[in-house]
Structure formats: structure tokens, C-alpha cells
Amino acid sequence: MNYFNNNNNYFKNPILPGFYPDPSICRVGEDYYLVTSSFAYYPGVPIFHSKDLVHWEQIGHVLDRPSQLDIEKVEQSRGIFAPTIRYYNGTFYMITTNVSTGGNFIVTAKDPAGPWSDPYWLDAPGIDPSLFFDEDGRAYYVGTRPAPEGEKYYGNWEIWLQELDLNTMKLVGETYSLWRGSMRDVDWPEGPHIYKINGLYYLMISEAGTGHEHAITIARSENILGPYQGYKGNPILTHRHLGRNYPIVNVGHGDLVETQNGEWWMVLLASRPYGGYYRNLGRETFLVPVTWENGWPLVSPGTGKVEDTYPVPNLPQKIYGAKANCDNFEGKKLGLVWNTIQTPKVEFYSLTQKPGYLSLKLSPYPITGLEAPSFVGRRQQHINFAAFTAMEFEPQSEGEEAGLVLYQNRRFNFRFTYILNNGKKLVKLVKCSNGLEETLAEKEPSSAKLYLKIEANGQAYSFSFGETCDDYTVLADSVDGRILSTDVAGGFVGAYIGLYACSNGKDSENYACFDWFEYHEL
């Protein structure tokens, strides 16, 4: 994807479109690394590399083994929250929270592409942990936790700090309360990061929750333990005052980086609503410039808001090779774009059973349940897109189905499948809204090899099938896709498009075989 405009002097936001929230960044020499939250998707915590801060290439997942990531029978917006990546003395550190199992932990690596260590679990309450390595060699954990006097109102939390022993990977010594945010009775001070700049410690956080009122604020101190003085110009970035019709909303959860050429930039999350205040793409990763005035950061100078385009950083351009729109499933491993829902407990997919195909074994667990289904999916990354697949599948027992799924969570999704239903083999579109299922359309095809296509024009989704790749029949047109937005479905994630195979409660040895999958922007 080319994020430059025609003269290559400007780049376009977001730099990571689609569900890539809570970005954290670090620089090692001339190389930049970035991670984002992954919630209940596996593998967890995608990690990216860049040379120019604009173009990013995924190099792996930090949590790619069951021993690192245990998420079983969890809702979609649980699992892994808000990772931070840092580099110190030859080692990469990623710290995060598994809110479903275990709490806060650290993994380490010499190579950011992996392998990463198994977790070092920390005795630390709360969420959104970060790490700071001081010049004297001491390391610190900084996170957010409930206020000591108790939660007198929802979101009455605080930012706190404790020293980390890097030899034992344990927290040691006293804990210190640092800051509660820029306003009295602020909701959810979270996402903290500490930086040392010109001898002062800066504590940057987010406030007011991750919804429309999201904001980034900052404080500083001469001592890492405080006291921290809030900036009179807070918040340093928010869009809550711009209204719900503004094209970029819920701006927050940022991380700062200084380039080797002395420029400062911030990565942060935001969303692009469309078709009304609906955010099917979830929270995406944006990039904004930062300067300094009187010892405080000035974010997006001149406008104070996140813009669609900016002049490129003063860095050598590094444009990675164009990613293929079509996955022919000819490799030994799934591409890095793909995820499963939860940590797989059994092997349900294969790239070798039928070479050149992704074979999915039918699972008894439906996409609407808490058990991990037979599902392999990727993010919806564009407001207008087309997704295609070629599937070979013959349902053998009542209820067996396979095809495409548009997925927000188990209670809000669309199933576009070939199914044996009441003795008939049908191509069927089922809408699940708040757990209630409704058949929108169905037709009988005449072939067990089907081509399935989903196209989206904003919130209007169309579903077509064919028995050749050149001749499609529309099954349903202009279907309202707003159930795929967190504004309807709740939670923190964005929409996925996935390949799916299910026997709906029965044991089955049947497989659905997918020859290829193509996704591209329209």
C-alpha cells in the first residue's frame, strides 16, 4: 500500500488502516518497531518494522505460541490489552496485559521478529503497563490501577510506578502513586508512558475512556517518583470538541518517538466513522508530528488536530514490496495477515492436506458461541472493499456449512455460507444481531465448487456467488453493515472477514477447501 501522495512529499493517515489500536513504538538506530493490541485474536500482538515511519511491514506476532497466549472461551474484546514495546541494552521488551488469564507480563527477544520468550508474570494490579529504563540502569514499571481509596466512581483510577529488577524480572520495592490525570475526577487515566527529555521526566497518558471523549495529556517532574506537574495546556491532543460529524474521532492512546534526525513524532489511535457515527474499521493507527515549546510537546503544530496528510518525516524513504491482494495458500504457513479466534486447542486448518488450498475441518462450535470456531480471518481495512474466495465443499449432514463470515463478535456478524438446511443445499446469508439470527436470503446452486464475493460500498454490503469466477449471482444487495461497528456491537475491536467451516454441534470429519482468498480496496 502506498501511503505517499503523487509527489511523495506528503503521507496519508492512517498509517495502519483497520483494527490496529493502542500503538506503541520504539527506535533502534535507524529502525522503528511498532506493536498494537490484539484482544482475543491469535497469534497476538502484531509487530511491524519501518525505516521512514510511514510504510510498515509486519515481521511477525510477538505472542505466537500457546505457552505465551492462553485465551480460551473469552469474549472478543477481552484477551490482550495495550502492549508497550521498548529496547534496552541489546534486548527488546514487550509488556502487556492478558485481562482474561494471568494479568500483566513481559516477554523479551533479541530479534524483534522472534522468537520471543515465554511470559514473565508480574504481581501488578491494573492494566496498560509500560516500561522505562533510566540512565542509571534502573528499570521501572508504570501502569494504571484503581485508586487506593476505592472506586468512588467508575474509572476512578491512577497512574502508578514500581521498580523492576531485570535480573529476576520481578517488581521490587515500594509502589508510588504518580498522577490521576489533568482534570479533577477524570475517568480512566490510562496508557501511561514515561520519557526522559533534557533531564526532566515526562508522563504522557490518555484520559476519559477510549470512546469519543478520548484525550492525551501530559505531566512532568524532576524526579521519576514525582511530584508530577500537569501541563496547563492539557489536553495536548483530543477531537472530542470537534463533534461527531468530524471524519476522525476518538483520538488518544499515543506513544512518542524521536528520530535519528532529531524530529519528534507520535503514533496514536483514532477511528474514521462512516454512514453516520459507525466505526466498522475499529481503532486505527495514525502518525502526527510533534514539536516542543517551553519544555512541553506541541502536537500537530498549527492545527492541534490529527490531519489526513502531513509532510513526510525527514527520513530515507523505504517502501516495501507491494503485498499481493490474493493469497493462493501455497506456503507452508499462513500469512501474517491471518488470525484465528482465540488460541487453537486442536488443529483445524491445514495447508498440506490438499496442497495449494487452505483446508478447514468442520468444527461443532459455531461462530456465535464462546468456544473457538473453525475460522481464519483478516481485518477489514477499507471503507470500500471487495473480498473473494473459491471454495470446494460438499455438506454431508444436516447443518454442515462453510463459506465467508463478516465478524465483529459472536453476537454481531454475517454468515455467507453453503449449507445443508432441511435437506436442501443452499447458499445462505444469515445476519446475527445481538445474538438473534435472521435469514436474509438463500438460493440453491448447482455446483459444489463455489465462488463467493462480498463487496462493501460504505455501510452497504453486497453478497454474490457463482459457479465460475466470471459469472456471479447477487444473493443480497445493499445489506446494512452497521452491526459490524462497535457503536452497535460494543467492545473494542474492528470488523474481520474470515473463512469458516462448521458442523453446528455434531462431530464431523468433513473439510471445506479454499483455493484462494482475495481482498482489495474499491
**pLDDT value for 2:** 47
Query: Average pLDDT for residues 239-246, to the nearest whole number?
Result: 97
pLDDT grade for 446, boundaries at 50, 70 and 90: confident
DSSP label of 16? B
In sequence order, the 6+-apart residues with CB closer than 8 A to the CB of 392 are: 357, 448, 449, 512, 513, 514, 515
How far, in whole angstroms, is CA 441 from its chain's centroid?
32
Query: Following DSSP, what letter does each residue of 341-406 receive, concatenated?
Result: ES--SS--EESTTTTTSEEEE-BSS-TTSSSPPEEEEEE---SEEEEEEEEE----STT-EEEEEE
- Cβ atoms 360, 376 nearer than 8 A: yes
Contact 63, 69 (CB under 8 A): yes
Catalytic residue chosen out of the listed positions 22, 52, 163, 207: 22
Q: What are the backbone angles phi and psi of residue 489, rounded to the nearest 5°?
A: -85, -15
What whole-number distance in Å separates Cα of residue 407 and Cα of residue 484? 7
Domain residue ranges of the chain, discontinuous segments joined by +: 10-311, 326-521
pTM: 0.96
Cell matching residue 211: 470512546
Query: What's the confidence (pLDDT) of residue 322?
Result: 73
Half-sphere exposure (Cβ direction) of 214: Cα atoms closer than 13 Å: 21
pLDDT exceeds cutoff 80 at 151: no
Active site residue 22: yes
Q: Cβ contacts of residue 119 below 8 Å, gap of 6+?
A: 68, 102, 105, 106, 107
Catalytic one of 52, 158, 190, 284:
190
Q: Are 290 and 46 in contact (CB under 8 A)?
A: no
Alpha-carbon distance 110 to 114, whole Å? 8
Strands 215-221 and 200-207: antiparallel
Residue 324 confidence (pLDDT): 79
- 337-354 pLDDT, tens digit each: 999 999 998 899 999 999
Could you name the CATH architecture of 326-521?
Sandwich (2.60)
Q: pLDDT tier at 428 (50, 70, 90 boundaries)? A: very high
Q: Over the stretch 390-423, which tens digit does the pLDDT of each residue have?
A: 999 999 999 999 999 999 999 999 999 999 999 9
Using one digit for the tens of pLDDT, what is the confidence trace for 116-140?
999 999 999 999 999 999 999 999 9
292 φ, ψ (degrees, to nearest 5): -125, 135
pLDDT digits (tens, 9 = 90+) for 465-519: 999 888 999 999 999 999 999 999 999 999 999 999 999 999 999 999 999 999 9
Residue 365 has pLDDT above 80, yes or no: yes
Residues sharing a CB contact under 8 Å with residue 110, sequence separation 6 or more, in sequence order: 90, 91, 92
Q: H or E segment at 489?
A: helix 486-489
Task: Give the pLDDT confidence score for residue 160 in this predicted structure.
Answer: 98
The dotted CATH code for 10-311 is: 2.115.10.20
Return the bridge partners of 415, or none.
405, 430
How high is the pLDDT of residue 1?
A: 44
Please, which residues bridge with residue 131 across strands? Answer: 141
CB 204 within 8 A of CB 192: yes
What secondary structure, in 3-state letters, does 32-52 show?
EEEECCCECEECEEEEEEECC
Which stretches of 208-280 are assigned E, i.e. beta strand? 215-221, 229-230, 237-238, 249-258, 264-271
Distance CA 377, CA 496 (A): 6
Structure confidence by residue, pLDDT tens digits, 280-317: 999 999 999 999 999 999 999 999 999 999 999 999 99
